[in-house]
């Protein structure tokens, strides 16, 4: 039988005991922590866990229980597990829409569906596609990212494609989507480490 792998991201204010709380939860749930990566930047804690289960688990029950732990610990937690369902993709774009246009034109060949577009200009909103659009204008990065995080949760985003998205994403955002953010416009790489 194939084992079940669940990815868990934990983000919030740093304090002692958070790693223990979530790794103990994994163990008492019958899981084995195969990967853990944690960071603290300016008081912000971020952790990614990969938990394996030898047997099939009820992922809805697991998600419900870990969200209860997250509320007790005052942390923001999201889970990611491989399923056979289509993945929800968010496309982030600034100013120029040619990368977005190419994705939209070829969207039927994707192994997922475009569930959200985040853009810095109203003109980037898809006119006829019926895809939700979130406008992030202004210079307040923290407020913009909070708005994006809410939208990504609302539309259950699995993968983020940066299609000429010319804003730097903070650790607070990136830690929520480990290994699930891709930059599809290579001309700016490796200019930014």
Cβ-based neighbour number of residue 191 at 10 Å: 6
Query: Domains along the chain?
Result: 4-81 (3.30.70.260), 87-188 (3.40.50.170)
1 CB-contact burial (10 Å; exposed 0-12 / middle 13-18 / buried 19+): exposed
**Residues lower than pLDDT 50 in the chain:** 189-193
Give me the pLDDT at residue 193, please.
44
**Phi and psi, residue 26, nearest 5°:** -60, -45
Give me the pLDDT at residue 192, please.
47
Give me the pLDDT at residue 11, please.
96
**pLDDT tens across 28-43, in order?**
999 999 999 999 999 9
Q: Is the pTM of this model over 0.75?
A: no
């Amino acid at each position: 039988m194939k084992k079940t792998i669940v990815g868990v991201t934990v983000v919030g204010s740093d304090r002692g005991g958070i790693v223990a709380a979530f790794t103990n939860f994994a163990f008492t749930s019958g899981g084995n922590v195969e990967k853990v990566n944690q960071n603290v930047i300016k008081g912000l804690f971020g952790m990614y866990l990969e938990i394996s289960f030898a047997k099939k688990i009820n992922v809805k029950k697991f998600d419900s229980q870990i969200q209860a732990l997250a509320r007790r610990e005052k942390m923001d937690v999201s889970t990611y597990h491989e399923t056979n369902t289509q993945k929800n993709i968010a496309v982030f774009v600034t100013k120029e829409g040619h990368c977005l246009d190419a994705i939209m034109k070829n969207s039927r060949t994707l192994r997922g569906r475009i569930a959200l577009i985040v853009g810095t200009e109203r003109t980037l909103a898809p006119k006829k596609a019926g895809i939700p659009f979130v406008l992030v204008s202004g210079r307040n990065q923290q407020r913009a990212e909070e708005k994006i995080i809410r939208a990504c949760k609302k539309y259950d985003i699995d993968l983020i494609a940066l299609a000429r998205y010319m804003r730097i994403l903070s650790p607070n955002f990136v830690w929520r989507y480990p290994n699930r953010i891709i930059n599809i416009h290579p001309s700016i790489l490796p200019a930014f480490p």
